[in-house]
Amino acid sequence: MSASHVSPSARAANAIDCAESPHPADASVPDGVPSQSAGASAAYVAPAHLARFLSLSDFEPAARRYLPRPIFGYVAGFVEDGTAQEDNRLAYARYGFRPRVLVDVSKREQRITLFGRHYASPVGVAPMGISALTAYRGDIVQASAAQAAQVPCIMSGSSLIRVEEVMAAAPATWFQAYLPGDEAQITALIDRVAAAGVETLVLTVDTPVQANRENNVRTGFSTPLKPSLALAVQGITHPRWLCGTFLRTLIKHGMPHFENNYATRGAPILSKRVMRDLAERGHLNWTHVARIRRRWKGPMIIKGILDAQDALRARQAGMDGIIVSNHGGRQLDGAAAPLQVLPEIVAQAAGMTVMIDSGVRRGTDVMKALALGASCAFVGRPLNYAAAVAGEQGVRHGIELMKSEILRDMGMMGIASLNELNDTFLIERRH
């Protein structure tokens, strides 16, 4: 399925201890119980220890208990007053459904095609920075789970694991680039990413300056991380995270560094250089995009568009796709909810694949986004929590829950194929 499949008008060591007992994601588990998502993926059987996680929202309280407060706060956090984050969910609540009845839905199909690759479902894993602090080898965990579930995964440029290692584990992973400070550095980074085997490049463009993340200060998170008595206490009082994620990483891989901001290794997570490395983006413009487009041979996507005119410029610049996103409400407070502006952006796409993230939590959210013209919806925070709680198995389970919900929702709405879905299935709620 591509963005043009329906006309724009029609669609508008969590269990590990310091002796290195096995992490649930690495351990053999008892025979699982049939998952609710068995209809979405016949080969998937949920491990017994994950049977209590019935929806994506179930992972958050478990992750809150597992992670030190500063780390959990970073993942859960938002910018300033959280208006943009709240609006993301309100935008989905704004719509209800007009289901069709007495339709043969006995053979439903949710597979899609993006940029020539086939995927099992229109849901994917959004890029999430420093995921290796929330789960051991977090970026590899997310990418491997997505590959097993046959859905797209975008690796964050603000990761603590080299892109080459992630691509070796999950070769179809997309890469999200935060472009560095000058032309030579940009070129070198793009060439490195291509040499690593990345086919699909995602440029995130909604971070020209550092956001006002007051919540990070309140929870004790900082970039760089600053050793302190309070941080030490958080580690000691969360021994499963301390031993299963942080110390395990230090022992096996050394101090985490930002590995993919440049062609060369970036600053360690404890270095004062981190802020400088992450702040050099204010000069970037469409000229840089055009140069990268000429150099990049595979599919190229811009992430962070909320304006129809920017969507038009992206199409004119030769982009293959865009991701409508407000960065999960983490950059500009009050930024429009992506679902709210999705129809006008789709109208400018003219064949360019349009995707969405920010606030996607349920299969019904994915259905609403597809009805308004998106081709795929990406999930962020909940899958980060799932990785913290249960590693690769947790992420896989979260993805399969979404696949199961989508398949069930299709039946309830009276459609056998996602190609049938359009905005006539939606109704705006009146409050």
| Average pLDDT over every residue of 104-129 | 98
So what's the pLDDT on residue 273? 55
Give domain limits for the chain: 36-428
- Beta-carbon neighbour count of residue 152 at 10 Å? 24
Can you tell me the distance from the alpha carbon of 365 to that of 249, in angstroms, rounded to the nearest whole number? 36
- Whether pLDDT at 31 is above 50: no
Confidence of residue 224 (pLDDT cuts 50, 70, 90): confident
So what's the pLDDT on residue 286? 95
CATH number of this structure's domain 36-428, picked from the four choices 1.20.1260.10, 2.70.70.10, 3.20.20.70, 3.40.50.920: 3.20.20.70
H helices present in 237-380, as ranges: 239-241, 248-253, 273-278, 286-295, 308-316, 338-349, 363-371
- Whether pLDDT at 54 is above 80: yes
- Assess contact for 297 and 193: CB atoms under 8 A: no
So what's the pLDDT on residue 122? 98
Active site residues: 327
The structure's pTM equals: 0.89
Can you tell me the distance from the alpha carbon of 377 to that of 339, in angstroms, rounded to the nearest whole number? 10
Q: Looking at 21-158, which runs of residues are DSSP E strands?
A: 95-97, 112-114, 117-119, 123-125, 154-155
- Whether pLDDT at 107 is above 80: yes
Can you tell me the distance from the alpha carbon of 287 to that of 205, in angstroms, rounded to the nearest whole number? 13
